[in-house]
Structure 1
Amino acid sequence: MSKHVLVPVDGSEQATRALEHALESFPDASITVLTVFSRGPPEAHLETAGLDYDELRARRREMLAKLIAEYEHGGPIETAVVVGQPAREIVRYADDHDVDRIVMGSHGRDGASRVLLGSVAETVARRAPVPVTIVR
Structure 2
Amino acid sequence: MATHALVPLDGSPQSWAAFDHAVSNYDGETITTLHVVDPMEGIYSDYGGGGYYDAGAHERAVERGQELGERARERADDAGILETTVLETAVETGPPARTILEYADENDVDHIVMGSHGRSGVARILLGSVAETVTRRARVPVTIVR
Query: TM range, normalised to the smaller chain?
Result: 0.7 to 0.9
Q: Separation in 1 of the partners of 2:31 and 2:127?
A: 28
Partner of 1:3: 3
Partner of 2:21: 21
The alignment yields a C-alpha RMSD, in angstroms, of 1.9
Q: Percent identity?
A: 47
CA contact (8 A) 1:101 1:131 kept: yes
Runs of 4+ in structure 1 off by over 6 angstroms are none
Assess, with a 3 A threshold, how the Cα gap between structure 1 residues 59 and 114 changes in structure 2: closer, same or farther.
closer
How many correspondences in the alignment?
132
Residue 59 in 1 paired to residue 64 in 2? yes
Shift of 1:93: 0.2
Which residue type is aligned with residue 29 of structure 2? Answer: A
Q: Separation in 1 of the partners of 2:122 and 2:64?
A: 33
SS at match of 1:103: strand
Partner of 1:113: 123
Partner of 1:80: 90
Q: Separation in 2 of the partners of 1:83 and 1:51?
A: 15
Question: TM-score under structure 1 normalisation?
Answer: 0.88
Assess, with a 3 A threshold, how the Cα gap between structure 1 residues 50 and 6 changes in structure 2: closer, same or farther.
same
Q: Separation in 2 of the partners of 1:5 and 1:76?
A: 10
Partner of 2:75: 70
Q: Separation in 1 of the partners of 2:132 and 2:2?
A: 21
Shift of 1:12: 0.1
State the Cα deviation string for residues 67-94 of structure 1 (Å, max 9, x = none).
Answer: 3212232311010000010000000000
Question: TM-score under structure 2 normalisation?
Answer: 0.82
